[in-house]
Structure 1
Amino acid sequence: MIIVTGGAGFIGSNLVKGLNDKGAQDILIVDNLGQSEKFRNLVGLRYNDYQYKQDFIENLTAGCFDNQPIEAIFHEGACSDTMEYDANYMMKNNYEYSKKLLHFALKRRIPFFYASSASTYGSGTNGFTEGDHYEGALNVYAFSKLIFDRYVRQILPSATSQVVGLRYFNVFGPQENHKGKMASTALHFYNQLKIGDKVQLFSGCDGYGNGEQKRDFVYVKDVVKVNLEFFERQLPSGIYNCGTGTARTFNDMANAVIAQKKKGEIEYIPFPEVLKGKYQSYTQADLKNLLAAGYTGGFRSLEEAVADYINHLDESAGYYSLC
């Protein structure tokens, strides 16, 4: 059995799809469907069981999984809302929950792969290389991810099984519809062009011109490829960046979507006051540690990824289907 927490979410459901494509179906999906549309992400996937996240952690703590054969745990579940200000909730949900899973995996010597975040670099003033000197946090979500990474670093020297944290940069792609305001700009631009002929970008900030803020946009299918290569090839434990290594502007993203839809133009809107001082205007993954670990799968260009994503959106509203 393979356990995927957050398996109904964006990256988690794509991981399940990636495992399905390799023939794996003995999968336990752990999530909190709540009142969202996340259930639609599960319709096109193959898996053996689903458990609500609180039931799962209670069952885990009670020993219900102690004797079950578990091949790997992919821990993708978290509250990823950067506008969530309840620090106690964020720490319980993202930090304490992750610690319980980690120690279960270490005790059973089960490979443990978890989602970290490029938000752990804060403003990015010092760059984007894995290590204390480069790190910071501009919001509670980033803090919850950062301190779990630092907790893992303390554990790694004595760990006798694989533990891998992947710092996702700006991920986009199929199965993110439920994310609403937290969905990628690619999806927002696509939806804007469905009802009009303009895509909206923030005006300049932090010394950047209109739409010229830069992010390392990485396609979710490549994120899955990184996870599965670490799993299948048993690459070394550690915390690694997961991005393309190339920063592209929001204008680039908008123009890529416009090119695929063959319509539209950019409209700039005022930069929100609420985001000032809490916004990453530039991200670019340093990939030297990922490559040194042995990753060889590469990454799609922004234009290649956007073309594939737009096809998904046009053909199936961005969802997978059973075939």
Structure 2
Amino acid sequence: MKVGIIGATGYGGLELMRLLHNHSKITSITLFTSSDEGTVISDKYPHLKSIYDGTLQPITKEAVEKLDVLFMGTPSGVSGQIIPELLNDHTKIIDLSGDLRLKDISQYEAWYGKKAAPQQLVDQAVYGLSEWTTDVKNAQVVANPGCYPTAVLLSVLPLIKEQLIDATQLIIDAKSGISGSGNKPSQGTHFTENTEATSIYKMNKHQHIPEIEQAINIFTGTSHPITFSTHLVPMIRGIIATSYAPLKQGVVEADLHAAYAKYYEGQPFVRLVKEATKVSTNQVRGTNYCDIHVNVDERTNRVTIVSVIDNLVKGAAGQAIQNMNTMFGYEETEGLTQVPLFI
């Protein structure tokens, strides 16, 4: 199978290359660029020397038509404008940016501050939360979920779906490594600004808020605003999301465990962890796993749900490949069986 990556020099693109390199069905990977045409990728990233020494190619419709899959690893505001020119009957497209996730394009423009993709393209795109979306197999275009939404949704959807918690009171506190901000430096991600410091950002304005709310509505049929806070912590990769909600009357902890078993039994990348002390970003680093722990505070009748993922893998490239595997009928785990980089 022939695949291509637009945005290969970003962190998501590099993770796609790393994971696809060991995918048994991939015969070739074409790396595209809009600004570094002719650059040898291993000159830019020496860790790829003798692995990928090819040059970055210009983006053309003729080149894309020869591919089976095209991954879009571009910043938000880019893919939604160029995908319409690249669409064809043969090539399936998986967009890792946020351009095709929000079905209400006015919400996209309000939260992202960028021009929205054409409504027809947004309507065509299937939201690819791998463990919950049932129609990825027949999709031509997939909107890969965001990193924060993936961690949050996998942890709370079973409890909302089974009506075990009061979702109107859902509060989510999430923390991410710096790689989630991309590879273009800013003051907030500068070493001296971030090292030995934790900071909140985009308070009540994070663009993943409407995505989480929309997905809850899609998969559970309920619609409630959420409180969602995001923080940067001084690590390179990883997300930990801690969610809090009141339990419905009569619900006990065993009911929560039963809900997770119902939705995730047989799901290869969701792991339920019994001990809170065993839930850590280093347990999933470099992999497509999502680890989840749930705990009931009987004193307050609230549940605390903790989930961890690698933002660059399960939160981006890994889930994109998981979606690709589903689209082509491959084993869901193909190319994604890495052991976590615990240390």
Report TM bin, short chain.
Answer: 0.3 to 0.5
Higher normalized helix content (fraction of residues): 1
TM-score (norm 2): 0.41
